[in-house]
């Protein structure tokens, strides 16, 4: 990985040389050699990952079929030992190498890996709980490595017969992910009444998922990037920030000061969503009609009674982290629009847990830790409406 970073840095230097018109045959040869070396490193890494995955899979022959046992942390013995560890009855789970080998956390944070069965429940519950989490893109890049992100798209041009179009250079920006620790703490006394293994696992999964998805979604919207992911409203690369007043919340106002500010390519995206405060929705958007009396903000109720909110054909998500139009300060965000697939949450979704005694509360605490970071990939696709109120 260190060599891969060196290659990426050198390619960045060469890009500057080429842009200055100082390219030489030696430079061209170096680029080809670096690309070949980069491909070789990536190929070996993929082969190694495949080998690790295969090494953790055990096939047990059976008269009927082959039964596949996946990760060692998914065995009934490990799951039982994990429950005993959390409940303070047994510490054998700490003897497993999987619970110690974690390069991204300190020894005091490791404790034990959450069993695969519980982790799968956590991930599924996070999708159920998280209306925003379920729409973003989950990645697993190495921290500290620059990831190229397209900031502009090449265009086609009409040319005369016998001519050729000029070559276009596709502008590229880069983002880099760090390592931030997201932790939740649950008092063991909350789990003390849990008896069966399945009920214990579902309780642990629910506690972790609900707490983590709330913290992750809050960071996605308003995270300052210090010790947590950079949120959409705090990303300086998003320059499309029109100002808005309560008096602008009319059919014409929404069109001229919001919809018209969305770039055409992103306006047509079917997955674009609007995120606003519930008070803004209730007072200024829900039930609004256009000049012909057609509703543009509406609440639909499914057969199960679940609300579906839409405004100007876009799905609406209500969040308290966004200030309401009535109470927002000057330049404070009051609405977000964009396709949340353009937000990347970088994590391997591997959660560790540790049990310790809290002297202040006289109870045992289960601390679960997830390593992650997040950033907007395509800043051009987002619009952040800001308050113009003084």
Q: Work out the average pLDDT over 299-320.
A: 87
- pLDDT at position 292 over 50: yes
H or E segment to which residue 273 belongs: strand 272-276
* pLDDT for position 239: 93
Residue 63's contacts (CB-CB under 8 Å, 6 or more residues apart) are none
In this structure, the answer to whether residues 253 and 287 fall within a common structural domain is: yes
* Residue 224 shares a structural domain with residue 322: no
Burial classification of residue 373, based on how many CB atoms lie within 10 Å of its CB (0-12 exposed, 13-18 middle, 19 or more buried): buried
Going 30 to 32 to 38 to 41, the CA torsion angle's sign is negative
Q: How high is the pLDDT of residue 64?
A: 46
Confidence of residue 349 (pLDDT cuts 50, 70, 90): confident
Which token pair is 33? 């050699």
Q: Are residues 295 and 367 in the same domain?
A: no
pLDDT score at 104: 37
State whether 201 and 89 are in the same domain.
yes
Which stretch of 106-120, 305-319, 335-349 has the lowest confidence by average pLDDT? 106-120
Give the model's confidence band at 166: pLDDT under 50 very low, under 70 low, under 90 confident, else very high: low
CB 331 within 8 A of CB 325: no
Residue 320 vs residue 85, higher pLDDT: 320
Same domain, yes or no: 94 and 183 = yes
- Per-residue pLDDT, averaged over 280-303, amounts to 90
Burial of 361 (0-12, 13-18, 19+ CB in 10 A): exposed
In a domain, 162, yes or no: no
Is 368 among the domain residues?
yes
Q: Do 115 and 205 fall into the same domain?
A: yes
Greater pLDDT, 101 or 219: 219
Q: Smallest Cα–Cα separation from 272: which of 299, 311, 242?
A: 311
165 assigned to some structural domain: no
pLDDT interval class at 315 (50, 70, 90): very high
Q: Is residue 58 part of a domain?
A: no
Same-domain pairing of 338 and 192: no
Q: What is the pLDDT of residue 89?
A: 58
pLDDT of 102 above 60: no
Residues 133, 184, single domain; the answer is yes
- If asked whether residues 204 and 258 sit together in one domain, one would say no
Total domains, the chain: 3
Claim: this prediction has a pTM higher than 0.75: no
Domain that holds residue 308: 243-345+378-387
Same domain, 382 and 319: yes
Same domain assignment for residues 93 and 105: yes
pLDDT band per the 50, 70, 90 thresholds, residue 84: low
Asked if residue 201 belongs to a domain, the reply is yes
For residue 166, is it within any domain?
no
Residue 47 pLDDT greater than 70, yes or no: yes
Statement to judge: residues 131 and 226 lie in one domain: yes
Q: Is 67 part of any domain? A: no
Does residue 272 lie in a domain region?
Answer: yes
- The length of the chain is 390
**What pLDDT is attached to residue 106?**
40
Whole-number mean pLDDT of the chain?
Answer: 76
- Residue 192 confidence (pLDDT): 53
pLDDT at 269 over 60: yes
Q: Provide the pLDDT for residue 300.
A: 87
Taking every pair of Cα atoms in the chain, the longest distance, rounded to a whole number of angstroms, is 84
Looking at the predicted structure, is the pLDDT value of residue 216 above 70?
yes
What SS3 class is residue 27? helix
């Amino acid at each position: 990985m260190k060599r891969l970073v060196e290659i990426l840095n050198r390619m960045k230097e060469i890009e500057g040389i080429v842009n200055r018109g100082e390219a030489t045959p030696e430079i061209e040869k170096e680029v080809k050699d670096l690309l070949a070396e980069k491909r070789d490193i990536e190929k070996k890494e993929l082969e190694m990952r495949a080998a690790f995955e295969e090494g953790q899979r055990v096939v047990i022959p059976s008269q009927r079929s082959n039964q596949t046992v996946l990760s060692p942390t998914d065995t009934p013995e490990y799951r039982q030992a994990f429950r005993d560890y959390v409940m303070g009855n047994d510490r054998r789970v700490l003897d497993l190498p999987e619970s110690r080998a974690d390069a991204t956390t300190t020894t005091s944070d490791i404790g034990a890996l959450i069993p695969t069965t519980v982790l799968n429940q956590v991930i599924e519950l996070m999708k159920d709980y998280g209306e925003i989490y379920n729409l973003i893109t989950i990645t697993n890049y190495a921290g500290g490595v620059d990831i190229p992100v397209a900031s502009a798209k090449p265009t086609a041009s009409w040319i005369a017969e016998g001519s050729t179009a000029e070559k276009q250079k596709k502008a590229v920006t880069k983002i880099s992910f760090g390592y931030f620790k997201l932790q939740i703490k649950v008092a063991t006394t909350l789990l003390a009444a849990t008896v069966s293994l399945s009920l214990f696992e579902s309780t642990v999964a629910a506690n972790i998922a609900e707490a983590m998805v709330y913290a992750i979604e809050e960071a996605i919207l308003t995270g300052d990037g210090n010790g947590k992911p950079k949120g959409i409203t705090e990303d300086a690369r998003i320059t499309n920030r029109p100002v808005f007043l309560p008096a602008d919340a009319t059919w014409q106002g929404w069109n001229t000061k919001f919809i018209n500010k969305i770039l055409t390519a992103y306006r047509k995206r079917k997955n674009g969503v609007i995120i606003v405060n519930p008070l803004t929705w209730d007072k200024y958007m829900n039930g609004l009609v256009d000049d012909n009396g057609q509703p543009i903000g509406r609440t639909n109720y499914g057969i199960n009674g679940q609300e579906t909110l839409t405004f100007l054909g876009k799905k609406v998500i209500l969040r308290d982290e966004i200030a309401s139009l009535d109470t927002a300060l000057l330049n404070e965000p009051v609405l977000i629009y964009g396709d949340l697939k353009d937000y990347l949450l970088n994590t391997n979704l591997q959660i560790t847990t540790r049990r310790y005694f809290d002297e202040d509360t006289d109870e045992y605490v289960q601390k679960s830790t997830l390593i992650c970071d997040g950033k907007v990939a395509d800043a051009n696709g987002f619009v952040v409406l800001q308050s113009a109120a003084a």
